[in-house]
Structure 1
Amino acid sequence: MDEQTIARGMQALSLLDEDIAAAFKELGPPSPRSRPAGFETFLSTIVGQQLSTKVAAIIMQRLINLMGSVTPARLIEIEDQALRDVGLSWRKVEYVKRLANAIITNSLDIESLSDLSDEEAIIEIMQLKGFGRWSAEIYLIFSLNRQDIFPADDLGILLGLAKLKGLTEKPTPKQARQMVEHWQGWRSVGSLFLWQYYHQPK
């Protein structure tokens, strides 16, 4: 999402939620964040699972160097042990090979995801081994620029919402979704703001 979209979203959310309005005056809008749509972003999602951002970036760069050309066909050619040697776990080796094969066989058409509704695209992505709802929702927000996605399984989102609403403990994902129903239409922007708000000092 670009700055204009975020600005419109924050203005709308400020009218819908007084807590957002107050925090927005203090912090201003969240920064734009995006990732290119396509195979490399799916690949980096697998690489980054359960790793720090720094470690994931190192392993991803090693993988890119190993591949040379970052394509599904090239990944299929690489021996499993070589993928393990750059830092992927055996499970992630399985996941990236399954991803590449899904694209090659056209059981996953990444380009067609943009033609699907939010829920249809999420379900399509979740058919991939290693991709849960959170991974799919993150792809929709940052790569497909969908404006009404709320990744309620994200810990930062839940803690940010608890902080925003003055709760003593974080809500469950189900509770969080109910709490932001009135943000409908701009829940992706609201999610960006919650991430920003959570990381601000008290």
Structure 2
Amino acid sequence: MYDTTKLSELLRFARVDTGSTVIDVYPGDGDWTRLFSDTVGPKGRVYSFVPAEVAHFKNDPLGSMQTLAKEPGRENVEAVCADLTAMPQATQPADVLWLHLFYHDLHTTLMQARGATAADFNRAVFEQLKPGGSYVIIDHAAAIGAGTSDAQSLHRIESASVREEVEAAGFVLDAESTLLANKDDPHSIKVFDPAIKGKTDRFAYRFVKP
């Protein structure tokens, strides 16, 4: 996770407010789910959405989120699991859909194993967001011109490719942030490399559904 200042700025950037409904896609350890739960309060709702494509992982991502949802004060959290493109059937219409360091995975064989593509998923997000809702994407930046070619090998994606794909689904770019940028990232090494892990150059986009 980031320091508290960056967390606060990212929450504002995502437009997560009291009473919001948020879908946290591929929630990992649940840090963002907890933060959203605290932010939206008892009148809000947080769907901790575990893609079925990763439900078989040994760390039991769905079980972990089900346990999180039983923590005291987490009555506003629901852990759900479905194929990526079936997300609209597993959740309610949302104000914010949050994708943190995951969009590049839409271009990997693991996520496409059940037939989902980035285009399919973006259409599903468009369907599920309320008019004016925010689709927030933060990801590891690839080198300019790399497009989606480094998604499988380096877990990176070029920001321009993300924008092109998301806008093709009907979204409008509303804001972008350089809060997580790192000009010293060479963009040529895997994001898990100790030389750059936790310090990758990251872009942040907020798209809206008209």
TM-score for the superposition, normalised by structure 2? 0.27
| Structure 1 or 2: more strand by fraction | 2
Q: Which is greater in Rg? A: 1
Larger RCO: Structure 1 or Structure 2 (Cα < 8 Å, ≥ 6 residues apart)? 1
Structure with greater helix share of residues: 1
